[in-house]
Amino acid sequence: MFVLCLAQFILVLDDTVVNVALPSIRDELGFSSSGLPWVVNAYFLAFGGLLLLCGRMADLLGRRRVFLIGMALFGVASLACGLAQEAWQLVIGRFVQGAGAAMAGPAAMSMITLLYPGPEERARALGVWGGVAALGGTSGLVLSGVLTDLVSWRGIFLINLPVVAMVLVLLPRLIPESRAPGRRRLDVPGAVLVTGTAVALVYALLRSAETGWGDPIVIGVVVLSAALAVAFLVAESRTAAPLVPRSFLASRTRAVANGATLLFSLAMYAMSFLLMIQVQTALGYSPLLAGVAYLPYGAGILAGMWLSSRISLRIGTRRALLLAFLVNIAGLLTLSGVAAGDSYAAHVLPGLLILSLGNGLSLPVMAAAAVDGTTAEDAGLGSALFTSVQQIGGAVGVAALATMGFSGGLTAGAACVALGAVLIAVLLPSRTREGEVSGTRDRLRPRSPAR
pLDDT of amino acid 369: 86
Distance (Å, whole) CA 235 – CA 197:
13
Residues 396 and 201 sit within 8 Å (Cβ to Cβ): yes
**What single-letter DSSP state applies at residue 433?**
T
**What single-letter DSSP state applies at residue 403?**
G
C-alpha distances (whole Å) from 159 to each of 75, 152, 162, 163 are 10, 11, 7, 8
pLDDT of amino acid 261: 92
- Mean pLDDT, 10 residues at a time, over the chain (451 residues)? 84 78 86 79 79 78 90 95 92 92 84 75 71 70 79 89 93 82 70 80 76 87 91 84 75 88 91 86 85 83 84 86 95 93 90 92 86 68 76 81 88 95 88 38 36 33
Q: Which amino acid does the sequence have at 49?
A: G
Distance (Å, whole) CA 195 – CA 189:
10
Give pTM, 2 decimals.
Answer: 0.75
Residues 106 and 86 sit within 8 Å (Cβ to Cβ): no
- Count the Cβ atoms, other than its own, within 10 Å of residue 431: 21
Distance (Å, whole) CA 11 – CA 13:
5
- Could you tell me which residues come within 8 angstroms of residue 352 by beta carbon, excluding any fewer than 6 positions away? 293, 294, 296, 297, 300, 331, 335
Distance (Å, whole) CA 210 – CA 265:
24
Residues 115 and 1 sit within 8 Å (Cβ to Cβ): yes
Residues 55 and 385 sit within 8 Å (Cβ to Cβ): yes
SS3 149: helix
pLDDT of amino acid 448: 36
The number of CA neighbours under 13 Å toward the Cβ of 402 is: 31
**What single-letter DSSP state applies at residue 358?**
H
- Could you tell me which residues come within 8 angstroms of residue 193 by beta carbon, excluding any fewer than 6 positions away? 228, 229, 231, 232, 235
Question: Interior CA angle at 208 toward 203 and 209, to 5°?
Answer: 105
- Could you tell me which residues come within 8 angstroms of residue 14 by beta carbon, excluding any fewer than 6 positions away? 43, 78, 97, 101, 140, 160
**What single-letter DSSP state applies at residue 187?**
-
Q: What is the b/e burial string over 73-84, where b = at least 16 CB atoms within 10 angstroms of the residue's CB?
A: bbbbbbebbbeb
pLDDT of amino acid 138: 67
Domain ranges for the chain, please list them.
2-175+241-443, 187-240
Distance (Å, whole) CA 65 – CA 427:
38
Closest CA to 62 of 422, 376, 426, 278: 376
C-alpha distances (whole Å) from 243 to each of 48, 201, 250 are 13, 20, 14
Helix axis angle, 349-370 to 295-315, nearest 10°: 50
pLDDT of amino acid 375: 67
The CATH class that applies to domain 2-175+241-443 reads mainly alpha
- Could you tell me which residues come within 8 angstroms of residue 227 by beta carbon, excluding any fewer than 6 positions away? none
Residues 254 and 382 sit within 8 Å (Cβ to Cβ): yes
CA 120 to chain centre: 25
Q: What is the b/e burial string over 114-148, where b = at least 16 CB atoms within 10 angstroms of the residue's CB?
A: bebeebbebbebbbbbbbbbbbbbbbbbbbbbbbb
pLDDT of amino acid 407: 92
Distance (Å, whole) CA 430 – CA 425:
9
Residues 163 and 11 sit within 8 Å (Cβ to Cβ): no
